[in-house]
């Protein structure tokens, strides 16, 4: 009967991080039965906690990201952002391939990242419907679904800009991440590590078109004679 | 102008955390991978659509947790209604208790009872308990996500665990009072 008095106290005391109160401690010191009961109650809480972790810490299936992305694409009924539908579709196809490759690599920490995209600093894309930049403490839409590296028509002032934008995918970043991205890109270029896509592009040797010098026949300049004008 | 090359989408890690949160909340309620994936997809899609209103990160996480939880509960309820319609009598809810206390933690039966007991918890307690059981969220973060004071989170966790213990004690064959 005496031990029943401690039933609630034993239950409370079994929760992790809880120290038994002085009265209970004194009773536990002289009652083996309650010590055993406390130990059992503690093992119950441990079992509950490990069961809860099993419930709560499930691994996210890798199929979720492509599914979400497909769902987002489906609802994105806004006017095509990048010119023709064909252009958008082909860009998306390339990007999905890149992201899928990136997703597989993500599971293997030994594999270095090779998901390649290009950027032309300073990035000055003007995209219809683009949101206003968020503060650095805020969330980016890319935090939700990482943006696919898609080609966009940048307003590069370089004469070679158009040609290279067609051969290389570009990455769009939020305005407040542009500096970081450019710095990251700068590191890569300074390491002289040719990435996957760029390798293929570099191997194509582009020779300037050679045109034979213009042949101009010697002109036979004759003075007008007095006889001819008359 | 020089062309620069880079190698990774910038926010992959953060986006993974967001997906993880949505999925785990859904999975914690539904206990079914396919259903949890459906719910997480729906929650993320809604979050994507409503993004402009959810700029603040802690508010966003709270919103995502609540929408995932709500969608998962709805799905669970409709699944149960379907189940009740389809079967004339329900499955027996009580399985024989495990033999020894040592077997309890590892026991699938115990896990089954735990999940059932979790399902019977009031929603407020269940959500907080689930979040607290996830790796990587502090009490402060959970309080921000759920939108209640830290003290409330602590007391909800305490009450929820106590309720679970009360329901599971008979299966664990633990406290025996003289
Ligand atoms: Zn005693």
- Model confidence pLDDT, tens digit, residues A198-223: 444 444 556 677 777 777 667 677 77
Residues in B closer than 8 angstroms to A46, CB to CB, are: 105
The region of weakest confidence among A25-29, A134-138, A190-194 is: A134-138
Residue A74 above 50 pLDDT?
Answer: yes
What residues make up the domain containing B127?
101-178
The Å distance, Cα A38 to ligand 1 centre, comes to 10
Which residue in the set A146, A157, A184 is minimally distant from B12, CB to CB? A146
The reply to whether B139 and B105 lie within a common domain is yes
- For the segment B93-120, the average pLDDT, to the nearest whole number, is 68
- Crossing angle of helices A32-56 and B123-133, in 10° steps, is 90
* A223–chain B nearest CA distance, Å: 53
More confident of the two residues A199 and B169: B169
Which residue in the set B45, B52, B176 is minimally distant from A71, CB to CB? B45
User: In the prediction, which pLDDT does B94 show?
Assistant: 44
The reply to whether B171 and B137 lie within a common domain is yes
DSSP tag of A82 = S
Residue A155 above 60 pLDDT?
Answer: no
Name the token pair of A229.
């004008």
Write the CB contacts of B58 (distance below 8 Å, at least 6 apart in sequence). Answer: B141, B144, B145
Helices (H) and strands (E) in chain A, counts: 9, 1
Residues in A closer than 8 angstroms to B33, CB to CB, are: 58, 61
Return the SS3 of B72. helix
The region of weakest confidence among A117-126, B57-66, B82-91 is: A117-126
Residues in A closer than 8 angstroms to B6, CB to CB, are: 116-119, 171, 181, 184-185, 188
The Å distance, Cα B143 to ligand 1 centre, comes to 38
User: In the prediction, which pLDDT does B14 show?
Assistant: 75
Kindly determine whether residue A143 and residue B14, on different chains, have CB atoms separated by under 8 Å: yes
Q: What percent of chain A has pLDDT over 70?
A: 37
User: In the prediction, which pLDDT does A171 show?
Assistant: 54
The last residue of one of the domains, among B33, B57, B92, is B92
The region of weakest confidence among A4-8, A168-172, B52-56, B169-173 is: A168-172
B137 and chain A in contact, CB less than 8 A: no
Distance CA B53, CA B45 (A): 14
The DSSP line for B36-68 is HHHHHHHHHHHHHHTGGG--BHHHHHHHHHHHH
The CATH code of the domain that includes B34 is: 1.10.1740.10
For chain A, which residues make up each domain, given as ranges? Answer: 3-56, 71-226
The reply to whether B43 and B82 lie within a common domain is yes
Strand partners, B56: A138
The reply to whether B3 and B80 lie within a common domain is yes
Kindly determine whether residue B6 and residue A156, on different chains, have CB atoms separated by under 8 Å: no
The reply to whether B81 and B156 lie within a common domain is no
User: In the prediction, which pLDDT does B150 show?
Assistant: 96
Contact yes or no for B71/B42 (Cβ under 8 A)? yes
Residue B67 above 80 pLDDT?
Answer: yes
The reply to whether B9 and B56 lie within a common domain is yes
Closest chain B CA to residue A46: B105
- For the segment B58-72, the average pLDDT, to the nearest whole number, is 89
User: In the prediction, which pLDDT does A15 show?
Assistant: 79
The reply to whether B85 and B135 lie within a common domain is no
B58 and chain A in contact, CB less than 8 A: no
Q: Give the count of domains, chain B.
A: 2
Name the token pair of A10.
């034993």
The region of weakest confidence among A55-69, A181-195, B51-65, B107-121 is: A181-195
Q: How many residues does chain A have?
A: 230
The last residue of one of the domains, among B92, B113, B131, is B92
The reply to whether B88 and B116 lie within a common domain is no
User: In the prediction, which pLDDT does A162 show?
Assistant: 38
The last residue of one of the domains, among B60, B75, B92, is B92
Distance CA B27, CA B8 (A): 29
- For the segment B132-152, the average pLDDT, to the nearest whole number, is 93
The reply to whether B111 and B178 lie within a common domain is yes
How many CB pairs (< 8 A) connect A and B? Answer: 224
> The dihedral of CA B130, B135, B140, B144: what is its sign?
negative
> What is this structure's pTM?
0.56
Return the SS3 of A118. strand
B74 and chain A in contact, CB less than 8 A: no
Contact yes or no for A149/A115 (Cβ under 8 A)? yes
More confident of the two residues A166 and A140: A140
Q: What percent of chain B has pLDDT over 70?
A: 75
The reply to whether B87 and B22 lie within a common domain is yes
Which residue in the set A61, A115, A144 is minimally distant from B48, CB to CB? A144
Most confident stretch, A71-80, A98-107, A129-138 = A71-80
More confident of the two residues B125 and A224: B125
- For the segment A46-61, the average pLDDT, to the nearest whole number, is 90
């Amino acid at each position: 009967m005496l031990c029943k008095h401690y039933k609630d106290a034993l239950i409370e005391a079994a929760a992790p991080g809880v120290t038994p109160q002085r009265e209970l401690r004194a009773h536990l010191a002289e009652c083996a039965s309650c010590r055993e009961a406390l130990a059992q109650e503690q093992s119950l809480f441990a079992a509950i906690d490990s069961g809860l972790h099993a419930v709560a810490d499930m691994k996210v299936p890798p199929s979720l990201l492509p599914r979400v992305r497909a769902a987002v694409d489906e609802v994105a009924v806004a006017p095509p952002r990048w010119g023709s539908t064909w252009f958008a579709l082909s860009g998306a196809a390339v990007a999905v391939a890149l992201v899928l490759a990136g997703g597989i690599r993500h599971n293997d920490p030994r594999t270095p990242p090779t998901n390649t995209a290009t950027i032309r600093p300073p990035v000055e894309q003007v995209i219809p419907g683009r949101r206003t930049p968020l503060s650095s403490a805020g969330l980016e839409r890319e935090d939700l679904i990482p943006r696919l590296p898609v080609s966009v028509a940048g307003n590069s002032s370089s004469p070679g800009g158009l040609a290279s934008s067609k051969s290389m995918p570009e990455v769009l970043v939020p305005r407040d991440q542009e500096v970081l991205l450019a710095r990251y890109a700068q590191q890569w270029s300074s390491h002289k590590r040719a990435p996957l896509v760029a390798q293929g592009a570099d191997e194509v040797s582009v020779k300037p078109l050679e045109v034979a010098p213009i042949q101009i026949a010697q002109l036979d300049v004759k003075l007008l004679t007095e006889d001819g004008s008359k | 102008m020089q062309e620069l090359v880079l190698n990774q989408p910038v926010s992959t890690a953060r986006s993974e955390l967001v997906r993880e949160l949505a999925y785990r909340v859904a999975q914690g309620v539904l206990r079914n991978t396919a259903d949890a994936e459906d719910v997480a997809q729906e929650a993320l899609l809604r979050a994507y659509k409503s993004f402009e209103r959810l700029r603040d990160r802690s508010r966003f996480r709270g919103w995502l947790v609540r929408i995932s939880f709500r969608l998962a509960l709805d799905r669970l309820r409709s699944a149960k209604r379907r189940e009740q319609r389809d079967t004339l009598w329900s499955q027996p809810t009580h399985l024989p208790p495990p033999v020894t206390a040592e077997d309890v933690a590892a026991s699938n039966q115990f896990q089954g009872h735990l999940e059932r007991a979790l399902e019977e918890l009031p929603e407020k307690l269940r959500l907080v308990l689930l979040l607290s059981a996830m790796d990587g969220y502090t009490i402060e973060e959970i309080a921000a996500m759920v939108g209640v004071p830290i003290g409330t989170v602590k007391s909800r966790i305490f009450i929820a665990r106590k309720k679970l213990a009360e329901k599971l004690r008979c299966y664990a064959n633990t406290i025996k009072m003289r």
